[in-house]
Structure formats: C-alpha cells, structure tokens
Structure 1
Amino acid sequence: MRTYAVKEKKVIENVTIIDIAEEGKGVGKTDDLVIFVEKAIPGDVVDVEIYRKKKNFAEAKILNLVKPSGYRTEAFCQHFGVCGGCKWQHMLYDAQLTYKQKSVTDALQRLAKVELTGMIPILPSKFTSYYRNKLEYTFSNKRWLNDGEIRTDDTDMNALGYHIPGRFDKILNIEHCYLQADPSNQIRNGVREYALKYGMSFYDVREHTGALRNLIIRSSSTGQLMVIVVFAYADGEQIEGMMQFVADSFPHITSLLYIVNQKKNDTIFDQEVITYRGEDHILEEMEGIKFRIGPKSFYQTNSEQALHLYEIARDFAGFKGDELVYDLYTGAGTIANFIAAHVKQVVGIEYVPQAIEDAKVNSFINNITNTKFFAGDMKDVLNADFVTEHGKPDVIITDPPRAGMHADVVARLMEIEAKKIVYVSCNAATQARDLLVLKEKYDVVKIQPVDMFPQTQHVENVLLLQLRIA
C-alpha cells in the first residue's frame, strides 16, 4: 500500500475493501485510518482519493479499480452512481443478502451484546427490481447536469426526478426508474413532456415559484393505480389542462388527484386533496383483508415483502386466539387488522391522527370488530392509566420509525411485562439500542431479517422477545 499527494489531494493505492458500512460504502483500512469508499464493495482492491478526513477515519472515492471483487456485477440503471437510490446495484444479490444479514448480526452483537442462537437466514425479496408501490418525484428548474454536459443559454434546465444526495436544490432528471413497474415510467415521462410542450414552469425551491411541484405515483397488488399531481403557482387553466391530459393518456388510473401546495415544504399532510377523476383511494389486499390507501396513508412500499414481514410477526407471536395485543406505532392499522382474526383484541396506538382514521376505516371495510385505535405521542399515551383501562397485553408488537422507541416507551414496556414482544425494525442499530434495556427482563428467542429493499443497504429485522421467568 502506497500513499502520496497530488495537487494537495491524498491518494492511497491498493486498498483492500474488507466490509461494507451501514450507509452502503465500502470499508478499507490502513495502519491508522478507516476509509469509507463510495461504490466499493468487499473484495475490491482499489486506489482511492481522500476527499474528507477526520481524526480516525476518512471518506474517499475510487480512482482506479485495481482488482474487482467477485461480488461485482454490472449496474443496470443508467442513473446509477448519480441518483441517491439503489446504491448496491453493482453487487450481486446473494452478496447483498449476506451483508444485510451481517449488518443485523453486527448491530445485535456489538451494541446489544446478545446471543444469536435464534438467528434465521434473511428472507430474500422475490422481486429485485420494480418492487416499490410508491414513488415521489420532484419538478425543478435546476436540473443536475450529467458528466461532460456543458450548460449554455439554450440548455433545458427543467427536470422531473430525484434529489441529488446532499443538494436540496438539484434534481436528477429520470428517464427510466427500475423501482416501480410500468406504467410508472410512462406516466412520469408523459407528464414532463406535456409540461415542456405547453411551457409550464417547474418549481424553483429557492425562489418558491413555478407551476409544477411534485408527482406521486402509487400502485397496488390489486392492480389499482393512484396519481397525484402537486401544483404550486399554477392557474386554473394550467391545472385543468394537465389533469385532463393525464386522464386521457392513462385511462387505467383509478384514482387521479391533485393538490395545490404553496408552502415552503413538500409535505402534503396538511393540504387539501382534490379528486379529479375516479376514487379518492386505492385498495391493497393481504390474505383477503383489504386496506384502503389514501394519498396521505402509510403502507409498506414493498407489497410482496410486507405480507411476508407481517406473516413472520404473526408466527413469532404464536397466537392461540385469546390474547390481548398492543400494536405500537400501528400506522394505518395494517398489522393490527392483519392479526385481528387470530386474537381476542388488538389495541393500536399511533402518533398521526389521519393514520388512526385510516386504521379504523380498514377495520370497518373488513367487518373487523375487535380492534381499538388511539392517536397520540406514544410516550404520553402508553402510560399506567392506559394499561389499567384497556388491560395488560399478553403480546406487544412494536414497529417504530428508524429512530427506534423513545426511552420512556422502552421503560414502559419494562413495567408492563408482556409475555412476548415482537419488535419489527427498519434500523438494526436503534433496535439493538432498545434491546440493550429490554434484555434485562427478556430473552431473544428468534431473529429474522427481511429484505424489503433490494439494491439498497436497508434491511428490516424482526425479533421475538420472551419475558424471563424469575
């Protein structure tokens, strides 16, 4: 290994990549430095250029691929490496699964210091492309210029696509995305072409001007399709023209909606949604249970794997039919309604009031009568009085956001002492942090990673915790 400087830039030769970090970068080491290398994968030998250095680690990019890893493959997307998604496209899928399982194992062993005797091999995704049921695109008049592209006065700077990582004001114009099945690409490209043809302005995030702001496309396993066009400063004629174009060009859209959002952020949860054509929702289905998905509803973005994820959670719980279950962070009540037929009662709690209304609707349309749902901050709702009123749960299922559970919630679980906790997590590190407390009273019985997001470093993990008998 040789180190030298070129024009004040540090170059290190023949770095062997030995691991991969949580954010998807390859990991190499020198005698005194850990190096995180963009687009490197375990087994690569690379010459790297350091672009950021701290005391004990550095970040680098590949200057030369000296010896490619046996795990390497050709990325299939033309936007790979510029777009912030699908960072592992250049890694064979079997290797992706290996390193996702390793990330869960490392987190639980290193942070929670638990035995992994109950570890089950990661569940692969049946589909490794076109697996998402929801994508959100951004209109911008600040297009990201591709390598070698020189801007002139005639350069079209309008884009409809994804944010460039670390650049809130730059959008990569997407030609074809492999995350969502067609007609998603046709709809996005058709909308962009119409906008350009008729001179509709794309949003300027700095000046807060422009007619077109976002495009959201949602699909379901039942074959239904929702399209939401988010306008900013468009007049009535522009809105009507765009919406009529989408309706005429894509008649198979079952829910065609629009929003006028003139706030300084893209969130739509506080915005009025106008139904232009069709229904104001689409339907998803799992094991005969229907879920009504509105424009603001949360639903797992990989429908196929979501079913398997919930099956695992249900199987881990081992219901006998007489259990009282608390479903924490219930969202739109997906897990609660999915398990309702197997238990005595489910009590769901969720922070977002709109999600709780969706959960109630999902129970109603399926004639499910043994669910109750409550909205509020988990650490405030789940208190001693709540448990006294609704009963001590036999099983707690918890599926928190990436940040994990609030310390007060973890402390409450320790007080409640349910016989079983099924912990579903999209972040093994925060799950391990919570487990560090829970393991004082609970044993880890089963561990099942699930690949919900192929071509990325993200992984879901399901734990079964059993209360230790004193």
Structure 2
Amino acid sequence: MGKKKQIIIENLEIKDAGAEGVSVGRHQDTVVFVPYAVPGDVVDVKAMKKRSYYHAQLMKIKVPSPHRVEPPCRHFGYCGGCKWQQMDYTTQLQYKQKQIVDSFIRIGKFPFPQLLPILASDNIYAYRNKIEYTFSPRRWVLEEEITQNETIDKRGLGFHIQGMFDRVLDIEKCHLHPDIGNKIRNTIKAYAIEHNLDFWDARDKTGFLRNLMMRFSTCGDLMLIVAFRTYNESAEKMMHFIHKQFPEINSLIYVVNEKDNDVITDLPVHLYAGKDHITEKMNDLQFKISPHAFFQTNPQQALKLYNTVKDFAQVQADELVYDLYTGTGTIALFVARDAKKVVGIEYIEPAVVDAFENAKNNNINNVDFIAGDIAKILNPAFVSTQGKPQIIISDPPRAGMHPDVITQILAIEPEKIVYVSCNPATQARDIAMLIHKYKVEKVQPVDMFPHTHHVENLVLLIKK
C-alpha cells in the first residue's frame, strides 16, 4: 500500500473541543481533529485521513479565537501535560462541562437533570501536590537547537514525550507544582551532569539515575523520592548532597528499581532522612500520605469534592455506608462522624494501612477498612457479615467500576449511590447499567486539573 497523502486545509473554522484535549473542525462534512487549536480559531492545517476523520497539525492561525490566550509555559506545544493552556479558563470550564453532557447523552442514554455549575479551581497554576520526572540520555531536541550547529548535550530530566517510551522533554520550569520543585529538579540535574552520572536509557537498559517524584502538602511538607537502578557510592553521595542542599525536604526517600519499567509502587522504599510520610489537612481532619498512597493531586479542589460528597450523601446517624475504592480513607473519614459506621474497600494494601492510621489519628472509631479486589470482596457473604448499607459511595479509577461490582450494587439496592469519577465516559457507561433501578438526581462537575481536558464529576443516584 502507498503512503497516505497529507493535504493542506485552509481557513478551517474550529467549532468544538473534544474529549481528548484536541479541538474539532469540519472539512467537507468530515471531522478534523486539531491539537492546540481553540474553538473560534480560523486556521490552516496539514491533515491526514484516518478512516472516517482527519488528524491534523496546526500550521497557521489566520484568525485567533477571542478565547485564545498566550500560554505562560515555554514548553507548551511540546509537553503534552497542558493541552488547553492556550484557552482562557472560563472557556476550559465550559468545554469540561460539555464533555460530561456529551458522554451522558451519547454513551449513557439515560435522563439526567441540568448540571450544577462546575466548581472552578481557585488556583489554576501551582495546584498539583505530586509530580514525577524521568532521567534520559535521549531528550527531545528542539528544532532551534539543531540550527545552532553546536554539540548538543542530550541528557534530560523531564516528562515523557507522548508515544515515545525512551524520550523525555527536558523541563526548565513546570507551572503546575510549587516553584521549589523546579529548583530541586534543576539542581539535581546539574549535579548529575557535573558528576557525569549515567542517566537511565530505557531503550538500552543502561544507566542508574531513573526518576524523581515529589509530593507537596498544604501543611508545608515536602517529600522527594529518587529512583536508582542500583544504590552505589554515587547514589549515596547524591542523596547526601540533596539532604544538605534542601533542608525543606522533610521526607527524603529512595527506591531501587532493577526492573525495565518505571513503576515503583510494588517496590520497597528506603527512608534516607526525615519522616516516612507527609501530612495533609482538610477541614479538621489530618491525613497521612505514604510514598505509594493515592491522594487527590489538587488538595484545594479535593476539599470541595469531599464536601460535595458529604452534601450529596446526607448521611444519617443510623446509616451504614460502604466507601468503594476508599484509598487512604479520605471520603470515608469525611462522612464517618455523621454515620453509624463506614466500611471502606481498597485494593492497595499500603493505602489501607494509612486509612486505619488516619482514622486513629483523627479519633474516628466507627470505620473499618478491607484490602483486596473489590470485584471479588463485594459479594453476598461480605454484605451478610458487614451489614446492608443504605448508602454506597464509589470513587473508582479511570476504567470505572468492574461489571461484577455493579451487579452486586444492584443486588444490595442501597437507597443512595454517590458516584465520583475522573472519566465521564466510563461513568456514563456504569450509570447506564444502574439506571433501571436508580434515577440521576444531581450532577456536580469539579475542575481538579486546570489547562487539561480532564474533569472530575459527582453523580447522586436515588433508588426508584
């Protein structure tokens, strides 16, 4: 087969923003997906036909949209993290809300009320409390660097280029986390280059500097995790340097990862200095966050999210609540003081350990947490032992709930279900399976991730 031809489409009017962060136009009744365009733009693009649509590259903005703004990040367009940074924040919120409506109509096909206005983020920059960076000797070289005819140092510390497992975009400044994180990352990279330390090559499986992960809390805690291929004398010297250079890091940890992939959640952590956790505070509750534990990455918005869960659930003193995918027990503890008892289920064991400790530290005694696969644990025997809940709260990962979990919820028939989701498409799919016994009472979007297409959504379902 011959190579597919690219065509130039001139004066394409951008009409919409799609679910994956790309904008949408139409050419001769065919959809054209254009990354980094903004609804209202008139653009020239280079497009390639992909079955029933075009995928295009933005070439020229003929008429800028009134919703287009100048992105503050120098890495915009190369880094795939903030695909909507060129769109004003009010417009971002509109399209996030539209994404939920579109998913419910197209995928769910169930009746639902008008959405409550999306809860905007108070901070649209420096809101993330967790960030991960990757070392690589094969960083992405920018076009302007190539034209300078100088020897290029290809060592980088940054984010993976989309679709390339062995390439990273070297980051100078990320606007999504506190600025101290930029100073730490740049200082460590400079130290590594000065001491000629080997950056991990994901293609050749060589080198020993692999990853950095930082976690921040609104209480002022800062955790740094350094992942090495092996822990040798050079690693020890580097950890000593970091400890002396950055006294504000009060949880300094390292991991030895001898695997080919970068996943460290299954590996033991080693405390080098300080505490083995950080602490986050929400309302009058305190939460311990261990290195591997999940915690919402935008804590200010998470507080709005949890308060909305509590408002939707309206838990009474005589009611039993199940909290599915409980994580470190944040939602469970938020509603526990109003309930008779809360039972949380979570598949990550260290998170359950943290959940028990969080309950103890907050003097909450009417909670229980069980570790294991929810699809297997949530069965008639479990309900017989724990009791039938009047309310089920579910906050699954992006893939949504397992069909067996939905089947069991339908068998339990709680009076209310509060469904928290970071993926409107899988949420719509799951609600469609529940809708013959439940009606959608309220829908509340929450923006946890400004400048991305991602949106969190809460749905209150009431038994018919």
> Would you call these one fold, judging by a TM-score over 0.5?
yes
In 2, the alpha carbon distance for the partners of 1:130 and 1:225 equals 14
Quick one: which of 385, 398, 409 aligns to 1:413? Answer: 409
C-alpha displacement of 1:8: 4.3
Matches within 5 A, 1:138-149: 138-149=134-145
Percent identity over the alignment is: 51
Match of 1:319 in 2: 315
Please name the residue that 2:237 is paired with.
241
Task: Say whether 1:191 aligns with 2:188.
Answer: yes
The question of 1:35 aligning with 2:32 is answered yes
Q: Which whole-Å CA distance do the structure 2 matches of 1:233 and 1:319 have between them?
A: 50
- Residue 45 of structure 2 is matched in structure 1 by 48
- For residue 116 of structure 1, report the CA deviation from its aligned partner: 3.4
Match of 1:389 in 2: 385
Q: Does 1:297 align with 2:281?
A: no
Output the TM-score relative to the length of structure 1. 0.96
SS of alignment partner, residue 146 of structure 2:
coil
Q: Does 1:173 align with 2:170?
A: yes
Counterpart for residue 434 of structure 2: 438
Corresponding letter in the other structure for 1:265: N
Sort the Cα spacing of 1:344 and 1:213 in 2 relative to 1 into closer, same or farther, 3 A. Answer: same
Match runs of 1:453-468 below 5 Å: 453-468=449-464
Match of 2:282 among 261, 286, 296: 286
Deviations 1:316-349 (A, max 9, x none): 0112222100000111111111211111111111
Q: Deviations over 1:213-272 (max 9, x none)?
A: 00011110111110111111452x212211111111111111011111111111112222
Contact 1:118-1:445 at 8 Å conserved across structures: no
Q: d(CA) in 2 for partners of 1:286 and 1:322? A: 25
Letter in 1 for 2:210: R
**When the two structures are superposed, what TM-score results if normalisation uses the length of structure 2?**
0.97
Alignment partners' CA distance in 1, 2:405 and 2:315: 24
| Residue of 257, 263, 268 corresponding to 2:264 | 268
Match in the other structure for 1:4: none
Q: Deviations over 1:298-327 (max 9, x none)?
A: 100001001110100110011222210000
What's 1:429 paired with?
Answer: 425
The structural deviation recorded for 1:62 is: 1.4
Equivalence for 1:87: 83
Judge which range, 329-338 or 171-180, deviates more.
329-338
Letter in 2 for 1:231: F
Alignment RMSD: 1.4
Aligned residue type for 1:301: T
Report the counterpart of residue 133 of structure 2 in structure 1. Answer: 137
Does the CA-based 8 Å contact 1:118-1:444 persist in structure 2? no
* Partner of residue 395, structure 2: 399
CA displacement at 1:153 relative to structure 2 = 8.4
Distance 1:263 1:339 in 2: 40
Corresponding residue SS for 1:168: coil
Larger mean Cα displacement after TM superposition, 126-135 or 407-416? 407-416
Given residue 83 of structure 1, which amino acid in structure 2 is its aligned partner? C
Contact kept, 8 Å, 1:210 with 1:233, in 2: the verdict is no
Gaps of 5+ in 2: none
In the alignment, which residue of structure 2 is the partner of 1:339?
A: 335
Q: Say yes or no: does 1:366 pair with 2:354.
A: no
Find the aligned partners of 2:102 and 2:85 in 1 and give their Cα distance. Answer: 23
2:57 aligns to what?
61
Letter in 2 for 1:441: K
Taking the aligned partners of 1:233 and 1:157, their CA distance within structure 2 comes to: 22
Q: Distance in 2 between matches of 1:434 and 1:261?
A: 37
Q: Gaps spanning 5+ residues in structure 1: where?
A: 1-6
